[in-house]
Amino acid sequence: MRKHQKAILYLEDGLFFKGKSLGVLGETSGEVCFNTGMTGYQEILTDPSYAKQMIVMCSPHIGNYGTNDSDVESSNVYASGLIIKNESLSPSNWRSSSSLEEFLKSKKVVGIQDIDTRALTIHIRNNGAMKGIISTDDFDIDSLAKKIQNVPSMEGLDLAKEVSRKEKTTLCNVDNPKYKIAAIDYGMKNNIYDILLENDSEVTIFPASVSSEEILNYNPDGIFLSNGPGDPAAVSYGIETVKKLLGEKPMFGICLGHQILALALEAKTFKMKFGHRGINQPVKNLKTNKIEITSQNHGFAVSDDSLASNITVTHTHLNDDTIAGIACEDVQAYSVQYHPEASPGPHDSRYVFDNFFKMMDSNA
């Protein structure tokens, strides 16, 4: 039995939870938010969209199937902390190469366990996502209260430039690609470009700060706007680039890319109370009237009453009727708030990628 040191989670409203250490010892901070998925902890931790966030896993036992080198969405852990009820001490899966604890230590992640995550989740649901500190060093409440004042709020925070690739990268698995796709990386997950590559594509991934001229010089068949972290309204350079690209090529966006497309179309976004994070989020396709179970991770959303008359709402989230997808046929652009690549999660929405390839075929 491994020995764990004491740890504390302190929230900006003064509530705190005492538990045991998880991962490396030390101190970390970020926005505390909850994820309703029972699985997928490794993909969640390595998803750049979780930058500067400390994740509460609602499922009580985390780590049951261990970790491996395949179930990652990037080479780094971007979540700033992990909060769980109990770590599984004996992971069992034929693909497992290390335990959750070993993975967290190798990536230098500070976490906390042995706290009432149900009470914490209910508190966030009632009061909203809020800043927090996990520490194994400082247990002085007054000291933590002073420190948390220096933790930046997610609202107004541009994190895309921090997690984006710094250099252009071209990926291709075939000799004669059928499509050339320009992907703007605001925090792109691995499984997204894997799906694009499966469709005989050459995918060139550009940094978030790319100019419209660079994209058009590449002369792609389509433009993809990736997922990513932070406040979409703060990514002003990305919004301006997308504005200049509207109507030039077919365009498809996911998550932050969806919000940036909406902002480029003169819509507005807002900070949600606690967001949607999990692999069981119900969405209605308004064209087919079918219900899809989707994977989601976002704390901002597109404002319904800010949409221009030429923008169509294609999907809505059934829990709160927020916008989950839009389309603007005038400029051959569409986007979804959820993650159709579903890593982790169900594959109900994979067809959303097919629409992108059909648009490129029609535009060829």
Catalytic residues: 255, 339, 341
**270, two tokens:** 């807002």
Strand order in the sheet with 179-185: 169-172, 201-207, 179-185, 222-225, 251-254, 333-336, 323-328, 312-317, 269-285, 291-302
Strand, coil or helix: 336:
strand
Interatomic CA distance for residues 246 and 250, integer angstroms: 8
DSSP state of 27: E
Contacts of 14 (CB under 8 A, 6+ apart): 141, 145
Please report how the helices 256-264 and 236-245 are oriented relative to each other, as an axis angle in degrees rounded to 10: 60
* Closest by CA position to 49, among listed 201, 275, 266, 356: 275
* Closest by CA position to 208, among listed 222, 188, 191: 188
DSSP state of 196: H
